[in-house]
Every structure is written in C-alpha cells, then in structure tokens.
Amino acid sequence: MTVPVFLAEPDDLARPEFTFGGPEGRHAAAVRRLRAGERLDLTDGAGAVAECVVRDAGKDSLRVAVLRRYEVPPPSPRLVVVQGLPKGDRGELAVEMMTEAGVDVIVPWAAARCVTQWKGERAAKSLARWRSTAREAGKQSRRFRLPEVTEPAATPAVAALLSAAKLGVVLHEEAASPLSALDLPGDGDIVVVVGPEGGVSGEEIEAFREAGAVPALLGPTVLRTSTAGVAAAAVLQTRTGRW
C-alpha cells in the first residue's frame, strides 16, 4: 500500500518524536485510521520530508517517531501555467490535474474572454478552493513540494511573467509551431499560457508576443481549457527530463 502523505509544521519535522495533531493529524487518526506500527510521510510542502512510524494512535492525533529525514530539491526548469479562468468547477479540475502532473506555479488569469469573473468575495472563495484543491491533490500524488497558486493576474502581469521567463509559450490553435518542437531551456522558468473557453484575444496575443512569448500548437485537436494545461505539462515534463 502507498504510504500516505500529510502536511506538518516545519518545527515538528525536526523533532525525533512528537504528537501529530491539528486538522491533518485528526484526518490521519480518525479518517485514515492509522494505527501503531503503520508508516506515514510528513512534509512541510516546501521540500522537507520526514518518514515516520506511528507509535500510538489517539482519537484525533497520532504519536509519531521520525525514521529518516531528507530534502526534495526544487525542480529545474520550473513550470508555470497561467490558467484562464474556466466556467463552473472546471477550474478546480484543472488545478487538480496540473498538480498531479507536477506543475510548480499556477496563475489564475482574468482574460478578456473569460465567462467567469472573480470579483469581491467570490474571488477570495474561488482562490481558496483552488489552493485547497492543490494542497489535497499534492498529498494524494505524494508531492513534497506543493504548487504555488498565486493571486489572480491581469494581462499586464501575465506579460511581465512571460518577459522574465526563459521561455514563454501561448497555446493557440492557429500557431504554426507545435509545442513538442520548441527549444527548451535547462533552467529558469517555462511559462505556458492557457486561454479560457473563448480563447485568447488578438490584443492579448500581441501583448504576449511583445513580451517575448511564442505561440505554440498543442496538437491537432482543440482541448478544453481545463485539460490543455495538464496536456502541455505532460509534453514539457517529458521533454525537459523531469519525467
């Protein structure tokens, strides 16, 4: 059976033995029902890992002993996906799949043709759902470096990201070059822009070109905005050797 992963405080990870409580410890004890002698891995979500064994199981916490500690280095190149805001719950689906595929940074993008708009209280709730989805998907997929889900970005901020990247890519169905044929950097950031259901506008494409981005074709079919990011990540993860 795959060893389950839970998030823990950095200070706890440094101790030889401690009580693992709080919401994560309660989930491990009451929902996963881990018992004495069983294994679990704890992480701070930023690369620190402690391989642990349960010494004693309480009602809503575990007493655990650390068997081994190690650090997962940051990946290189770093993969950043700018995700146009999808309709409904497809945003959480996109975040879940991109997290499982190893995307390092997810940037919610309020594109011109987005049907969904994040404003006021809705913006805070939507962002919280994306971050919660990334956290849970990261634990499920045994990621010890969780992806960063940034604050929502407008088009000028996305252009600035592309300008600072080692490689900036805009997925577009009318592009001449396939994503699989682009020259990829060995380090730095690869930033990929995924448009919303309505696509990337001409003005946005022009702004991104001026920022140094390259339009690229993902394949012969048109993917939904919620699946294009994970498909692009799979291509790039393979070609950079991260997979």
Task: Walk across the sheet containing 105-109 and list its strands.
Answer: 148-149, 105-109, 78-84, 189-194, 167-171, 214-216
CATH 2.40.240.20 domain extents, the chain: 5-71
Given a cut of 80, is residue 1 above it in pLDDT? no
For range 153-157, the mean pLDDT: 96
Q: Which CATH number fits domain 78-240: 3.40.50.2000, 3.40.1280.10, 3.20.20.70, 3.90.380.10?
A: 3.40.1280.10
| Amino acid letter for position 15 | R
Residue 119 has a pLDDT of 87
Tens of pLDDT, residue by residue over 188-237, are 999 999 999 999 999 999 999 999 999 999 988 889 999 999 999 999 99
Residue spans of alpha helices (H) in the chain:
10-13, 22-26, 90-100, 120-140, 155-164, 202-210, 225-240
How is domain 5-71 classified at the architecture level of CATH?
Beta Barrel (2.40)
Q: What is the pTM of this model?
A: 0.95
Other Cβ atoms closer than 10 A to 26:
16
CATH 3.40.1280.10 domain extents, the chain: 78-240
